[in-house]
Chain A
Amino acid sequence: MPVRVKVPTILRAHTDGEGQVDGEGATVREVLDDLEGRYPGIRARLVTDDGALHRFVNVYVNDEDVRYLGSLETEVSDGDVVSILPAVAGG
């Protein structure tokens, strides 16, 4: 059973409009790499050229911010939910 990834509206242009996709991998980074293979361009929206998370995007494994776990090396297992939270400003 793969990891479930919740994709925010702002990134759904990359996922053919899907709000939830499955990803494979043992860490958040591997899951994002897996997504990049199927949805080219999505990784650059989340990760800098240096391989770190952008500071205006948060990624959660279940309800915990990966910045307070192992960042992109945070381990994930089957059934975990990875949520992507972008900064948006609309009001």
Chain B
Amino acid sequence: MSFTEDQVRRYARHIILPGIGGEGQRKLMDARVLVIGAGGLGSPAAMYLAAAGVGTIGLVDFDRVELSNLQRQLLHDTEDVGRPKVDSARDRLADLNPNVEVHAHKILLSSQNAFDLLGDYDVVVDGTDNFPVRYLVNDATQMLGKPLVYGSIYQWEGQASVFLPGPDTPCYRCLFPEPPPPGTVPSCAEGGVFGVLPGIIGSIQAVEAIKLVLGVGETLVGKLVLYDALRNEFTTVRLRWDPDCPVCGKHPTVTELIDYEAFCGLAPGQAPPEAEQTPSAREA
């Protein structure tokens, strides 16, 4: 695949950049990245991936844009309020970079459809807003053998990491073997969230996704970055693979997707405590 004249100009700063170059830019253009949740984290992640020229970007979200989203979700404009998020997000990404093919999936991600959907992509970026979908995405990427770029936020603080499939490197369940009991962790809707915070964490997710595609640098595999906006402090801690992990451990006991609402202590169809509706690929 050769570059058009427009592409050479558009990607000039990457093409001359040691670590990317023409070869790396082609890798990005051939890459398929799925962003789960077109909200706070998904906004900067998807926008930087599109700007970087990632060839195919999938967006999963079932929600519509609300006015209270716009304080942080830069994929959406004031005039988008009421539209499906994946539609306004697709428009934004097309404006940013018409070379990018955007697949808008307006669905509730579930154990029934996760393999079909995630299977089409090389890298998965987790920008969801609830525990059931986070465990679902973790397990599905482990079982499918896909890298997962994790990010999560609360009020003024965020976390990010990279989970590779297979043993020897940790997954989300190695980090948090069990979800907190329902109702103990307030949602962004209940506890508020600093609008710029997902901009930082979602951008870190874009960085990691791009490095995974390029195969350059050191990713956040086996490490967790914590960012405290109030203290302006980044802390990196070590994550360890848990040989007893039920999904990626030596003797996995969870070998197919389960009922993640039940796992998180929720009745079927019951709203997770941190979200307003059914667990979905919605983000806060």
Contacts and interface: CB of A to CB of B under 8 A. Distances in A.
Interface of A: 6, 8-10, 19-20, 54-58, 60, 63-65, 67-68, 83, 85-91
Nearest to B37: A91
B87 to A, nearest CB: 19
Shortest 9 CB-CB contacts between residues of A and residues of B: A91-B283, A88-B154, A55-B178, A56-B180, A91-B129, A9-B155, A90-B188, A90-B153, A87-B176
B177 interface: yes
Contacts of B153: 88, 90-91
Contacts of B240: 65, 67-68
B176 A90 contact: no
Given A10-B185, A56-B180, A60-B237, A90 B131 contact: no
Contacts of A68: 240
Interface residues of B, number: 48
Contact of A83 (B134, B177, B178, B237): B237
The SS class assigned to the A binding surface is: mixed
Given A63-B237, A64-B238, A91 B41 contact: yes
Q: Which of A8, A63, A64, A89 has the most CB of B within 10 A?
A: A89
Contacts, number: 103
A90 B156 contact: no
Interface in B129-158: 129-131, 134, 151-157
B206 interface: no
A46 to B, nearest CB: 11
Interface of B: 37, 39-42, 126-131, 134, 151-157, 159, 175-180, 185-188, 191, 193, 198, 224, 226, 228, 230-231, 235-240, 272, 274, 283-284
Given A83-B237, A90-B284, 16 more contacts: A6-B235, A9-B157, A56-B177, A56-B178, A56-B179, A57-B180, A58-B175, A65-B239, A67-B240, A87-B185, A88-B154, A89-B128, A89-B129, A89-B274, A90-B193, A90-B274
A57 B179 CA distance: 9
Given A88-B185, A91-B41, A91-B127, A65 B155 contact: no
A26 to B, nearest CB: 22
A6 B156 CA distance: 14
Nearest to B202: A91
Nearest to A56: B180
B179 A83 contact: no
Nearest to B175: A58
B235 A9 contact: no
Given A9-B157, A56-B180, A90 B237 contact: no
